[in-house]
Structure 1
Amino acid sequence: MRVIAGTAKGRALKPVPGMNTRPTTDKVKEAIFSMIGPYFDGGRALDLFAGTGGLGIEALSRGIGHAVFVDLERQSIEVIKRNVEAARVAERAEIYRNEAGRALKVLEKRGTAFSLVFLDPPYKMKDMDAFMQELAERGLLEAGGTVVIEHDAEHVYPVTAGAFEQTKHALYGDTAVSIYRYFPSEEGGSTQTEE
């Protein structure tokens, strides 16, 4: 596991010990960033089920200005701290041990809005569309912001969900990636679908 591109390209990232965390493979990570970037000019990212921190660190390496990492597991938090140091992006990272729903409430109080959000929870969690709605309701997403959901390939998320419109969907073995844009002024987004 490594940083694929940008200022931290090639730096190795430590995995979380044990079998409870499923890090995003380099192949899937490269595919995600080719769909949403590949590079950024500032902005803020939220890595909500951060695990190793690999997605948020990749975003920082590719030009995102600041990233917030949230995970509930103490081991994950220690690994994220080591990984942001190894990638030399620690000064642009905030790391919190918290349950995802509670973290959103805390971030709302701070008045923080993100241009990029990663939702890569354990595959048994299949309610990421509800998390997207909560991000919107709490004012945590910038207009035009991007949400990346990494999930079990057998689970299908809707093409539109409130003010979110799915712009990309791709399968990589048993992993799927669904990418949404947030268009708050156009509730429901456009009705175009790919044939």
Structure 2
Amino acid sequence: MRIIGGTSRGLHLAPVGAGDVAAHLRPTSDRVREAIFNLLINGGYGNPVAGARVLDLFAGTGALGLEALSRGAAHATFLETGIPALALIKRNIALMRAEGRTTVLKRDATSPGPGTPHGLVFLDPPYGKSLGHSALIAVAANGWLAPDALIVWEEGVPPAVPQGFDELDHRKYGDTVVTILKVASQKAAS
């Protein structure tokens, strides 16, 4: 697993093998990560990564948030509860020398408590557990989402989009479905 693009392109992250089932680690493959960032940057969204405050939910290894930092995001916040995953995130942040641009929080994404707004959110819950929907509703209710936030949601199947969000795109990459959402505008919600 490595950083695909940007200033840290080619940096190898801490190895996790095929993942740690007991710790629910299922790293996003390099191919899917590259597709996600190509879609974000070249998909008609402007460049939502440059200068963004990024929120990485169910962060796992932190690869998505770190990829965003490499591509110009200003700051990344990682929410994770697993002890092995938290250790990997911290190790990967150190490998990238990104300590000053990151925050690692041991918090459950489905009940994160109050937060500050982020413009780009990566949501990669364990597949098949219906945690993505709960997490998205929770971070929205607790102030973690900027009014124009883009959400990149990875699941094994296309997710049911919660009220208050608009689906902009979805793509299938092997056993991963990537769905791009945007916080619904207040005018559209009225």
After TM superposition, the score normalised by the length of structure 2 is 0.87
Q: Is the 8 A contact 2:110 2:136 kept in 1?
A: no
Q: Does 1:61 align with 2:93?
A: no
Q: Which runs of 4+ in 1 moved over 6 A?
A: none
**C-alpha distance in 2, partners of 1:37/1:141?**
20
Q: Output aligned runs, 1:92-107, within 5 Å.
A: 92-102=101-111, 104-105=112-113
CA shift for structure 1 position 41: 2.6
- For structure 1, the residue ranges without an aligned partner over 5 or more in a row are 190-195
Q: Output the amino acid matched with 1:15.
A: P
- Report how many residues are paired: 181
Paired AA for residue 10 in structure 2: G
Report whether the alignment pairs 1:14 with 2:14: yes
The 1:94/1:74 distance shift into structure 2, 3 A limit, reads: same
**Backbone CA RMSD of aligned residues:** 1.9
Identity of aligned residues (%): 39
| Offset, 1:112 | 0.5
Unaligned runs of 5+ in 2: none
Checking the alignment, whether the CA contact within 8 Å between 1:165 and 1:183 is kept in structure 2 is: yes
Q: Distance in 2 between matches of 1:133 and 1:119?
A: 12
Deviation at 1:188, TM superposition (A): 4.6
Q: How does 1:70-81 map to 2 (within 5 A)?
A: 70-81=79-90
CA contact (8 A) 2:52 2:118 kept: yes
Contact 1:165 1:188 in 2 (8 A): no
- TM (normalized to structure 1)? 0.85
Deviates more, 1:55-64 or 1:126-135: 126-135
Give 3-state SS (helix, strand or coil) of 1:9's partner.
Answer: coil
